[in-house]
Structure 1
Amino acid sequence: DDDDVEIETTSPTPISSTSLPLTKRKKGVFRRDWLSIDRCSSWLQEVNHDLKKARCKTCLKTFSVHCDGKSAVEKHMTSYLHKKSMKAFENNCSLAQFVIPERELDKITAAECVFV
């Protein structure tokens, strides 16, 4: 008969403890290694009292990483509000390099008074 097809079945291979990754990653918990990612390092921050959340310094928003993990960070990063806040943040940072802190101005003034 051409209708008889032989199907070969195999039993699943057992997973040994050596084949598992060395570090288990908890999906719904903030991971500090996210802070070393270039795209996130300037704005992302850990929420100390709740490891299931992350905070954006530029948007001043706290969001959950409990369900989506790193995907939640990436989703926030691509949001309209975040992009808008990042532009303002970058503009403020570039202006800050031209502003001399008051403490520095006080030191300069004191040094100038010595020479008068």
Structure 2
Amino acid sequence: MNEGDDDISVDKNEDSAVLASPEVLETSFFINKPSKKKLKKGVFNRTWLNWVEYKSFLKEYNHDSSQAACIVCNQQFSVYYCSKAEIDNHIKTKKHQHHMKSYDVNQQLIT
């Protein structure tokens, strides 16, 4: 080859196609992957105390922030996994419904 020639020589031991290294492939895989938000496990939410459907019976269990307490049933239950859904499940129980009837009557007698 002469100086000044713009020819490119290719070594026969190298592939003519350029492949990405494993490190590049790994990082590009994670770049396009949507980030997963870390789900915070259930903790008692004090705004529930202002909700009409909860404020008559619900209170925060003092010893554990992943627990709620029903003052009508005198029962604690977990809000760790489903939070609001656990409260709704408690409301649907026969025990709670029975106690709420008595509680409502007693509240009317007091006022």
Structure 1 counterpart of 2:82, from 43, 46, 68: 68
Q: Which residue identity is paired with 1:53? A: Q
Give the TM-score of the pair, scaled to structure 1. Answer: 0.61
Structure 1: distance between partners of 2:48 and 2:109: 27
Cα 1:53–1:86 shift into 2, 3 Å:
same
Structure 2: distance between partners of 1:37 and 1:27: 21
Cα 1:25–1:86 shift into 2, 3 Å:
farther
Matched-pair identity in %: 37
The aligned residue for residue 4 of structure 1 is none
Structure 2: distance between partners of 1:93 and 1:30: 26
Provide, for residues 49-108 of structure 1, a one-character-per-residue CA deviation record: whole Å limited to 9, x for no partner: 2001000000000001111111001110111111110000000011112xxxxxxxxxxx
Cα 1:26–1:32 shift into 2, 3 Å:
farther
Structure 2: distance between partners of 1:72 and 1:31: 13
Q: Which secondary structure state, in structure 1, belongs to the residue aligned with residue 64 of structure 2? A: coil
Any stretches of 5+ residues in structure 1 without a counterpart?
Answer: 1-11, 98-116
The aligned residue for residue 50 of structure 2 is 36
Residues matched between the structures, number: 80
Q: How does 1:17-96 map to 2 (within 5 A)?
A: 26-96=40-110
Q: Which secondary structure state, in structure 1, belongs to the residue aligned with residue 105 of structure 2? A: helix
Q: Which has more radius of gyration? A: 2
Q: CA RMSD in A?
A: 2.2
Q: Which secondary structure state, in structure 2, belongs to the residue aligned with residue 90 of structure 1? A: helix
Give the TM-score of the pair, scaled to structure 2. Answer: 0.63
Q: CA deviation at 1:39?
A: 0.3
Structure 2: distance between partners of 1:25 and 1:44: 24
